[in-house]
Chains A and B, each alone.
Chain A
Amino acid sequence: MGLTYSNDFILLNEDTLSGFGLDEIHPMHQIACHDCDLVQKLPPMPKEGAIVCLRCGSVLIRTRHNSIDRTLAWTIAGMVLYSVAVSFPFLAMKSGSIIRETALLSGVQQLFGQGEIVLATIVLLTCVTIPLLQMLLLLYIFLPLKYNFRVYSALPVFRVFQHFKPWSMMEIYMLGILVAIVKLGKMATIVPGLAVIAFALLVIVLACAISSIDDHLVWDCLEEKR
């Protein structure tokens, strides 16, 4: 089989296969692949890397070094950038002597104004509300983990957070800005505002925050504290 071993990836060995009986199953030592349902023994966790399902190749667990500190730091940076992105001028269009300035929410407002209520809500949710919620939920989960205090139902909150992930689409909106700039380039000059720069940085920062989360560690820590 054409599988490669790299430093970051640990492939489960043949002898860690689940040839065991029911009594040996322990939730901390075994995991079932979410894509193919194969039960496998977990090897010792690497400091930073991924454990891959030996049957279908899905990533079972991704471990991150210093995960809690890093996630918190990126999230706080994200909150600052977010507040800049929503409050400062976003894009301005200059055509002759006419200048039109817009904010991040202008598009949504225009769509509401044109009666496209469902559409406006979809854009608002995917590019403005859900990213903010994601960061707030991250703070709610990671601040207690870092400073060792308890909050109300952190486990369900983390579960909800996981479900938000595919619906946060700021990076696609960013690409949309580039396409719009090229499209309007012929008829007007587009001046990027401070908010666009903050928005672009926010896309990167939020991606870093989410990729530094160590799901397995979070579940374990939250369960211990319950």
Chain B
Amino acid sequence: MKAEDPRYASARRLGLVACSDCHLLSRKIVLGSGQVAVCPRCGGELHQRKPNSIHKTWALLLAAIICYIPANVLPMTITSALGNVEADTIISGVIYFIHSGSWEIALVIFTASIFVPFMKFLILIYLLLSVQFRSKWRPRDRTVLYRITEAVGRWSMLDVYVVTILVALVKLGVLADIEAGPAVIYFASVVVFTMLAAESFDPRLIWDVVEDNE
């Protein structure tokens, strides 16, 4: 069973469009300028491929990468306790947990906040380039890679929520007080932008290259 089996026919080849929401197959029609096709079942817009997928994904990905820098450099929390003011970044938070012996928590934060977004950048860049350079290499594995990136990205929101909870709990006047640092909004933006980037990438483009090369 090979991906290149000539009996394999994509909806695109058969002149069909699959609804991205309800999966109904419709026959592709020729549209005038400014017209959009609408799914007869659920009313969603029909596109054979997500429109402008590559450019949109690149734009959102670049926005995420730009936000990733201040997210890691600026402080996530500003703690004031008995007159001392301390600013903590994500990395200093991870180091704090390692020193205090909770290495599991350190690992969870490191994975969710630093590793996952970084891997998501690398994978999306690789997928975009592989489509743009018309690679035929292991389309199935690349599809799986895409699906994983799509699923795990949301977990990077973890540190944003930790800050929200700390800010609510630690409000003891002069004794101790925690405020959200400027990095938090950049961090939330990284997550939102990478999620939107993954959503706008169309994995079917990977397979189009394979089919076109037959």
Give residues in A with beta carbon < 8 Å to B: 1, 14, 17-19, 22, 25, 27, 30-32, 34-39, 54-58, 60, 91, 93, 95, 98, 100, 102, 106-111, 114, 116, 118-119, 122-123, 126-127, 153, 155-156, 158-159, 162-163, 166-167, 169, 172-173, 175-177, 179-180, 182-184, 186-187, 190, 216, 219, 223
Contact = CB atoms under 8 A, between A and B. Distances in A.
A184 B11 contact: no
A36 B207 contact: yes
A57 B140 contact: yes
A172 B23 contact: no
A102 B42 contact: no
Contacts, number: 204
Nearest to B143: A56
B169 A122 contact: no
> Chain B: interface residue count, which band?
35 or more
A67 to B, nearest CB: 16
B77 to A, nearest CB: 10
B43 A175 contact: no
Contacts of A91: 165, 168-169
Contact of A39 (B10, B43, B154): B10
A35 B146 contact: yes
A114 B180 contact: yes
Interface in B139-193: 139-140, 143-144, 146-147, 150, 154-155, 157-162, 164-172, 175-176, 179-180, 184-185, 188, 192
B184 A180 contact: no
Contact of B23 (A14, A32, A55, A155): A32
Interface of B: 1, 3, 5, 7-12, 14-16, 18, 20-26, 41-44, 97, 100, 102, 105, 108-109, 139-140, 143-144, 146-147, 150, 154-155, 157-162, 164-172, 175-176, 179-180, 184-185, 188, 192, 195, 199, 203-204, 206-208
A93 B170 CA distance: 8
A39 B9 contact: yes
Given A93-B169, A102-B169, A119-B188, A39 B180 contact: no
Contact of B160 (A54, A123, A219): A123
Contacts of A18: 7-9, 14
Given A39-B11, A91-B169, A98-B172, A169 B154 contact: yes
A56 B140 contact: yes
Given A22-B14, A93-B169, A219-B41, 19 more contacts: A27-B24, A36-B10, A55-B140, A58-B143, A95-B176, A111-B167, A114-B180, A126-B157, A153-B43, A155-B22, A156-B44, A166-B195, A167-B195, A177-B161, A179-B109, A180-B166, A180-B169, A184-B166, A187-B176
Looking at A95, A110, A166, A177, the one whose CB has the most chain B CB atoms below 10 A away is A110
A107 B11 contact: no
B111 to A, nearest CB: 11
Nearest to B3: A55
